[in-house]
Amino acid sequence: MATKVLFLGLDAADPDLLEQWAGEGHLPTIRRLLETSLSGRTENPPGLYVGAVWPSFSTSVSPARHTRYCYTQIVPGNYDSKFFPPSDLKSPFFWATLSQAGKRVAVIDVPKVSIERQFLNGIQIADWGTHDPEYTEMQTWPTSIKEGIARDFGIDPIHNCNGFRQTATEYVEFRDELLDRIARRTKLVRTILDQEPWDAVFAVFSESHCVGHQCWHVHDETHPRHDRNVRSDCGDPMLEVYRGLDAALAELLDAVDGNTLCVVLASHGMGPHYDASYLLDTILSKFESSRYPAARGEASRGAATGALKAVWSRLPETLKKRWAPARRAAKSVGITPNAGRRYFQIPNNDVFGGVRINLKGREPRGKVEPGPDFARICDALTEDLQTLVNQETGRPLVKAVLRTADVYTGPHMDYLPDLMVEWDRSAPIRKVYSPKIGIVEGSYTGCRTGDHKPQGAFFATGPGIHHHRLGPSTSVMDFGPSVAKWLGVPLRDVDGIPIERLFEAAH
């Protein structure tokens, strides 16, 4: 087909597993790409990557500009957090620039994006079948195509992948639903490719993301929740889903001609869900009390209200509606979580803990002066966090504490954490110890047994592109500028840059 660019995403497909299973013969398409394409690892936004990967890809700018890094984020000038919809992004999607330049573009299930209603030339399908969908049902532009897609390809049988499963039967059912969704999305993308010539088609498969979160412990025999009986009865759902994705890649890559730039992006990795983010706010409260004895009451009350707020976020909607009046009444009389503390946890997914300093002039009841006082607080807290030990392994719990201002610059830094805590995730984290605060322990009770690793991988083929393995990592922000350059469209005011190796002999 006369498509100029075909971009296929494998959401959270682990690069190490891709290479391992390709080498073992399970993924012949990935093996072919490893042997023939321009390939390399990708770099995602440090400390924030879990919720910022796809927005950074779609806008070609950093989280300090587009502002999105978690499904719920703190509201600048407030102590509250709120759901962050893609429509709140502060930067435009790069395909809108392509469309406005007259390029015919199709965007299918790219995660964490809103419907772009200024498309001059193209179509968009959002949340037909994504991990953690943003909309309650599929959205399209133009709206007239929605009914036909639902009729011809059905409605996502899963909708949201999160859920507790225990038996082999439940995992087999989940695996089969994911494989069915892969097959139907492949048919959908193939149909769109066959409809007409396109300048660019972007389509993302989310099934690697879903199966990694839910089935890591079935795949990983060293995981504490691994059950050999379940594994023997259902096999490895992750391997089967990756095989399904490999077959989908083969069909779609073979559907375009040799003049097409084809890019396959495995967005970020997957590994066991080991972290201490669920203990972080308790740890912060104890460290503050140890350094500032006069603040013990305020820190304890802040931690308690923060814990209640976390419980609230997990309640069913029916209970939230029933208890909402009482919650509003409590807030109206000044019961505000974290206002009395010097620092507190804010949402940042689980892989990196996010810490906010209660800064005067930024927070409504700030306690820390900007400048030297802020720097001293950050230094002291970093020192405290680095004393933590995973008691079960004897290893330091914290690999690094990143000062966000050392990593990011941009107009919307107030949206981001001040510190990002990188955990040593090599083993389960259930009991941590520091000489300053003693033992803090708990159990992660969520349904996800797999969680993310920072690096992804990409493969590119097309006219003039030769087999080569790039050394330094390629930023996820570089793909938009690369596609735009391939199509001859300037993409201005972005942080990403074109991947020059794509163009050495191609144009």
Domain shared by 316 and 196, yes or no: no
Q: In whole angstroms, how far apart are CA 422 and each of 46, 331, 401?
A: 10, 32, 6
Q: Residue 107: what pLDDT?
A: 97
pLDDT of residue 110: 98
Work out the burial of residue 145: count CB atoms within 10 Å of its CB; fewer than 13 is exposed, 13-18 middle, 19 or more buried.
Answer: middle
Asked whether the beta carbons of 265 and 10 are under 8 A apart, the reply is yes
Domain's final residue, options 441, 467, 486: 441
Q: What per-residue string of b and e applies to 460-494 under the rule 16 or more CB within 10 Å gives b?
A: bbbeebeeeeeeebbbbbbbbbbbbbbbebebeeb
Beta-carbon contacts of 130 under 8 Å, excluding residues fewer than 6 positions away, are 11, 109, 111, 204, 206
Same domain, 456 and 421: no
One domain for residues 317 and 382: yes
The residue ranges of the chain whose pLDDT is under 70 are: 1-2, 294-337, 505-507
Task: Return the bridge partners of 205, or none.
Answer: 10
* Same domain, residue pair 205 and 122: yes
- Does 245 share its domain with 135? yes
User: pTM of the entire structure?
Assistant: 0.92
Tokens matching residue 327: 């919650």
What are 336's two structure tokens?
């505000």
CATH for 158: 3.40.720.10
Residue 270 β-bridge partners: 452
H runs (alpha helix) in 259-295: 280-291
Residues 91-109 have pLDDT tens digits of: 999 999 999 999 999 999 9
Supply the pLDDT for residue 507: 46
Which residues are CB-contacts of 333 (< 8 A; sequence separation ≥ 6)? none
Range(s) of the domain holding residue 211:
5-273+452-503
Do 432 and 474 sit in the same domain of this protein?
no
Position 45 in a domain: yes
| Greatest Cα pair distance in the chain | 71
> Domain check: are 334 and 185 in the same one?
no
14: left (phi > 0), else alpha (psi -120 to 50), else beta? beta
pLDDT at 325: 56
Residues 93 and 179 in one domain: yes
Judged by DSSP in three states, 322 sits in helix
Beta bridge partners of 74: 81
